[in-house]
């Protein structure tokens, strides 16, 4: 059988997995809406959550699409399409592909034509990331039980603990923007972008509080994110990135 990384079979396989994941999302979405009604939650709020999350997702999704395009030059479309639509992220798949290609002594600059190289990469991607899917069903009850115990013992501390954990995570990501500062002013671009996004969010916050623009609440994050991305596109050529 002649192998090609863009063959119909591979598209069908990737498409089947992706359809499965859409079905899973729909299943839990419908269930959550029904549960919300049972709990007497404000259905308008639930719909608002759906719309604002959808809008928020667009820009990150396009950036994921860029990852698919990057990987597709080497791996064809189906595999990157599958890996980045479900389960993976570019931060996992690129190193997995690179590591395997290096082990096999293959270059990442041209499309793979050897089926065994292709399947080796597909296996490394699959085996590299599948434990996450096992840890969740194995540990979820223990983690939630542990958290519940802490909360029952001391409710206020339980809330603080969760907040602290999340702030710890944000801090690690904020630190990341300092990665290239040694390379001169252009290395500072991510910091400027971060500050600009923070500034936009601050302005949105003031508008929401002072001008009672409640609708803005749901769109403040996409607005700051997109605004800061436009800002990045404007300042990069000026600074000379």
Site for another protein in 34-53 (CB under 8 A): 35-36, 38-39, 41, 45-46, 48-50, 52-53
| Residue 113 interacts with another protein (CB under 8 A): yes or no | no
**Which of 153, 210, 237, 240 is in the footprint of another protein by CB under 8 A?**
237
211 or 237, CB closer to another protein? 237
Residue 165 in tokens:
């954990």
Binding-site residue total for another protein (CB under 8 A)?
A: 155
Smallest gap from Cβ 23 to another protein, in A, equals 9
Alpha helix segments (H runs only) across 76-154: 78-85, 90-104, 115-129, 131-153
Locate 212 and state its tokens: 């009672």
Least Å from the CB of residue 84 to another protein: 7
Q: How far is the CB of 221 from another protein (least distance, A)?
A: 5
Look-up of token digits 């069908």:
12
C-beta of 181 vs 213, nearer to another protein = 181
Residues 6+ apart with CB under 8 A from 75: 5, 97, 111, 112, 118, 121
- Find the shortest distance in angstroms from Cβ 213 to another protein: 13
Residue 192, C-beta contacts closer than 8 angstroms, at least 6 positions apart: 231, 235
Residues 70-109 that bind another protein (CB under 8 A): 72, 77, 79, 81-82, 84-89, 91-92, 95-96, 98-100, 102-104
Beta-carbon contacts of residue 222 (< 8 Å; ≥ 6 apart): 52, 55, 56, 58, 59
Residue 111 is a binding residue for another protein (CB under 8 A): no
Query: Per CB under 8 A, does 60 bind another protein?
Result: yes
Per-residue binding string, another protein, 160-189, x by CB under 8 A, is xxxxxxxxxxxxxxxxxxxxxxx------x
Q: How far is the CB of 159 from another protein (least distance, A)?
A: 7
User: Which DSSP helix (H) or strand (E) runs through 194?
Assistant: helix 189-210
Listed in sequence order, the residues at least 6 apart from 7 whose beta carbon sits closer than 8 Å to its beta carbon are 78
The binder of another protein chosen from 111, 113, 143, 145 (CB under 8 A): 143
Asked if 236 interacts with another protein (CB under 8 A), we say yes
Helix axes 43-75, 220-239, angle to 10 degrees: 40
């Amino acid at each position: 059988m002649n192998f090609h990384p863009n063959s119909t079979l591979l598209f069908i396989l990737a498409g089947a997995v992706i359809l499965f994941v859409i079905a899973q999302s729909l299943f839990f979405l419908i269930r959550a809406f029904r549960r919300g009604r049972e709990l007497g939650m404000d259905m308008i709020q639930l719909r608002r959550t759906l719309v604002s999350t959808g809008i928020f997702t667009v820009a990150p999704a396009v950036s994921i699409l860029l990852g698919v395009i990057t990987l597709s030059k080497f791996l064809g479309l189906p595999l990157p399409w599958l890996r980045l639509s479900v389960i993976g992220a570019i931060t996992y798949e690129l190193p997995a592909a690179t590591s395997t290609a290096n082990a096999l002594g293959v270059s990442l600059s041209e499309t793979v034509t050897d089926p065994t190289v292709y399947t080796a990469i597909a296996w490394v991607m699959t085996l590299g990331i599948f434990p996450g899917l096992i840890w969740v069903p194995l540990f979820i009850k223990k983690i939630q039980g542990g958290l519940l115990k802490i909360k029952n013992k001391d409710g206020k501390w339980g809330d603080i603990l969760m907040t602290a954990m999340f702030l710890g995570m944000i801090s690690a990501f904020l630190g990341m923007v300092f990665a290239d500062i040694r390379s001169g002013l252009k290395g500072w671009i991510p910091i400027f972008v971060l500050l600009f996004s923070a500034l936009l969010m601050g302005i949105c916050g003031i508008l929401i509080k002072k001008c009672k623009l409640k609708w803005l609440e749901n769109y403040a994050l996409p607005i700051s994110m997109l605004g800061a991305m436009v800002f990045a596109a404007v300042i990069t050529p000026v600074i000379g990135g």
